[in-house]
Amino acid sequence: VPSENFLVREVTILLADLRGFTSIAATYPAGAVLDLLNRCFVRLSEIVLRHQGTIDKFMGDSFMVLFGTARTGENEVKRALSCAVDMQIEMDRINKEYRSEGLTELYMGIGINTGEVMAGMLGSDLYSAYTVIGDEVNLASRIEAFSLRGQVLISQNTFDRCRDFVRTGDPMEVYVKGKSNRVTMHEVLGIPSESRELPRQEI
């Protein structure tokens, strides 16, 4: 794919991953595992679409969502954060249903970062797909890896664009792969203007 097909664009990247799914996959029959996963992902996808996010890809028990590729003119960061909070609230509802059915509960960690990426079609005539690449995507992945069950962690770049919109915990500084300096992260606790709080799963 020629490099001129890629554009530099600021986007907000949301990465979500189901916690403990590997042990579930090893315990349940394949059909039951796929049913649990699909029921969960269908409802989360509906939330993404409601907030005008773009699902970039599904990767087993995780998926990546982009905000900013469609250029709606609205605040992409706020929509990404509202989406993440709604996803965790929905996971809480899903788990209540799973408990009532005697099924294993699923939990999710979310990492969000905002920055400039290369966006465009990647692949060949045999197969190609629109995606984003760059260091900011990698950072979103590193942040997501730190998130606990039910948690939403955001980068400093994202926080700088939404500090008056979300309630967060104290900043945390961590070392991540590929960065020589420590990276600052913030845990999203709620969105006061929308009267929404995250259900806490782990402290």
Other residues' Cβ atoms within 10 Å of the Cβ of residue 30? 8
User: Is the pLDDT confidence value at 73 over 80?
Assistant: no
The label of the residue with tokens 């796929």 reads: 34
pLDDT in tens, 97-156: 989 988 888 899 999 999 999 988 877 778 877 788 899 999 999 999 999 999 999 999
* Displacement of CA 123 from its chain's centroid (Å): 24
Position with higher pLDDT, 6 vs 190: 190
Strand pairing partners for 112?
14, 154
Q: For residue 158, give the DSSP letter.
A: H
Are 13 and 132 in contact by the 8 Å Cβ rule? The answer is yes
**Burial class of residue 194 (count of CB atoms within 10 Å of its CB; 0-12, 13-18, 19+):** middle
Q: pTM (2 decimals)?
A: 0.90
The label of the residue with tokens 């919109």 reads: 165
pLDDT of residue 203: 58
| Token duo for residue 200 | 């806490």
pLDDT in tens, 16-52: 999 877 777 888 888 888 888 888 999 999 999 999 9
Mean pLDDT of 78-101: 94
pLDDT of residue 1: 45
Q: Cα separations (Å) of 190 from 64, 103, 166?
A: 21, 28, 6
Closest CA to 91 of 79, 71, 108: 108
d(CA 192, CA 162): 12
